[in-house]
C-alpha cells in the first residue's frame, strides 16, 4: 500500500513539475525543442553571410578589374595620339605636308602667348618660341604670365632676340627674322589698376553727375573707360596657352572678347610643327561676329 502511494506520488510529481514550469516559464518548456531549430537557423545565417561576403569580394574585384581595363585603354589611346601628334609635327616641320607650307599670316595681326609662370622662367625656351613666331612672320606679339616673370625679364628677352637676329644675319640656316617685332609684356597685376581706374571713370561719368535716373552702362562704355585709363590694349586674334591647364590664366578678359584660344601643352614640350599647325588652322577658320 505504501509502495503504491509512493509510486503514485512520483508520477504526480513528474506530471505536475512540467505543468508548473510551463505555467510560469513557457519558454523553458520548449527550450530543447527550439534549441535544435536555433542551431539550424544560425547555420543558415552563417551560410548566407558567407555567400554575401563572397559576392561582395567578387564584385569589388570585378569593378577594380573594369577600372584597370578602362585606365589601360585610355592610356593606350592617349599614347597613340601623342605619337601621332609627334609624327605629324615632324612632318610639318620638315615641310613634307605641303598643305601647311602656305599660311596666310596676314590674318594673325596680333598674337598673344600665355605661359605658366613657373615655365616662364625658362628664358631660353621663351626665346626659342619667339624666334619661331618671328620666322613664321608674326610681327606683333603679346607675352603674358600671371606673376610677371616675363615682364621682369623683358630686357633679357629683347637682348636675346637681338642676338638671335644678329646670328641669322651672319648666315645661320634657321630662317630669317623680320626687321622689327613689336613685343608687349603683360601680367595679372596690370588688370587690377585697369579695372579700378575704369570703374572710377564710370562712377564719375554716370553716378557722380546730377542726371536723374539709373545709368545704363554698356560694353562700349567700359571699353572707352579702359581706353581712357590707358589699359585698352589691342585684342589678339589668336592666343596660345603654354602650361598644364586649359585656361587663359588671368589674361585681361576685355581684350579677348573675340580671340581664338588654343592650348599648346607644356612649354618644355613645344614643337615647331604644332605651332605652325595651330596658326594654319586659325587662318582657315571663318569667324562670325554677333551684333
- Based on the structure, what is the number of domains in the chain? 2
DSSP letter at 269? G
190 and 230 share a domain?
yes
Examine the domain organization and report whether 244 and 111 are in the same domain. Answer: yes
130 shares a domain with 164? yes
Q: pLDDT tens digit string along 86-113?
A: 888 888 887 788 878 878 888 899 999 9
- 84 shares its domain with 110: no
Q: How far apart are CA 133 and CA 48, in angstroms?
A: 71
Model confidence pLDDT, tens digit, residues 234-263:
889 999 999 988 888 889 888 888 899 999
* Cβ pair 22, 15 in contact under 8 A: no
Determine the structural domain holding residue 165 and report its residue range: 105-207+217-282
Assess whether pLDDT exceeds 90 at residue 191.
Answer: no
Q: Which three cell numbers stand for residue 152?
A: 621682369
pLDDT of 58 strictly over 90: no
Which band of pLDDT confidence, cut at 50, 70 and 90, is reported for residue 43?
low
Between these two residues, 151 and 44, which has the higher pLDDT value? 151
Rounded distance between C-alpha atoms, residue 273 and residue 92, angstroms: 5
Q: Are residues 140 and 198 in the same domain?
A: yes
Same domain? 89 vs 147: no
Query: Quick check: is 2 in a domain?
Result: no
Q: How far apart are the first and last CA of the chain?
A: 127
Q: Which of 46, 85, 36, 119 is nearest to 272 (CA)?
A: 85
CATH number, domain containing residue 239: 3.40.1180.10
Q: In 3D, which of 219, 248, 227, 289 has the Cα closest to residue 142?
A: 248
Amino acid at each position: 500500500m505504501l509502495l503504491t502511494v509512493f509510486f503514485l506520488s512520483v508520477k504526480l510529481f513528474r506530471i505536475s513539475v512540467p505543468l508548473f514550469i510551463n505555467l510560469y516559464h513557457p519558454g523553458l518548456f520548449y527550450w530543447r525543442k527550439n534549441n535544435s531549430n536555433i542551431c539550424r537557423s544560425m547555420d543558415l545565417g552563417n551560410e548566407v553571410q558567407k555567400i554575401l561576403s563572397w559576392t561582395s569580394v567578387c564584385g569589388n574585384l570585378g569593378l577594380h578589374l573594369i577600372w584597370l581595363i578602362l585606365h589601360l585603354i585610355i592610356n593606350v589611346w592617349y599614347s597613340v595620339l601623342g605619337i601621332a601628334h609627334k609624327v605629324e609635327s615632324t612632318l610639318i616641320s620638315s615641310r613634307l605636308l605641303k598643305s601647311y607650307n602656305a599660311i596666310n599670316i596676314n590674318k594673325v595681326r596680333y598674337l598673344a602667348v600665355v605661359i605658366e609662370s613657373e615655365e616662364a622662367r625658362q628664358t631660353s625656351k621663351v626665346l626659342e618660341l619667339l624666334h619661331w613666331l618671328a620666322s613664321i612672320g608674326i610681327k606683333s606679339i603679346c607675352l603674358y604670365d600671371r606673376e610677371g616673370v616675363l615682364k621682369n625679364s623683358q630686357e633679357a628677352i629683347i637682348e636675346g632676340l637681338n642676338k638671335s637676329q644678329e646670328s641669322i644675319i651672319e648666315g645661320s640656316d634657321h630662317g630669317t627674322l623680320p626687321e622689327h617685332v613689336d613685343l608687349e609684356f603683360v601680367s595679372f597685376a596690370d588688370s587690377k589698376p585697369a579695372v579700378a581706374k575704369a570703374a572710377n571713370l564710370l562712377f564719375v561719368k554716370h553716378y557722380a553727375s546730377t542726371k536723374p535716373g539709373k545709368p545704363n552702362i554698356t560694353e562700349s562704355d567700359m571699353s572707352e573707360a579702359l581706353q581712357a585709363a590707358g589699359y585698352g590694349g589691342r585684342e589678339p586674334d589668336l592666343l596660345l596657352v603654354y602650361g598644364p591647364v586649359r585656361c587663359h590664366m588671368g589674361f585681361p578678359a576685355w581684350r579677348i572678347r573675340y580671340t581664338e584660344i588654343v592650348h599648346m601643352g607644356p612649354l618644355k614640350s613645344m614643337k615647331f610643327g604644332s605651332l605652325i599647325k595651330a596658326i594654319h588652322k586659325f587662318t582657315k577658320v571663318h569667324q562670325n561676329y554677333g551684333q
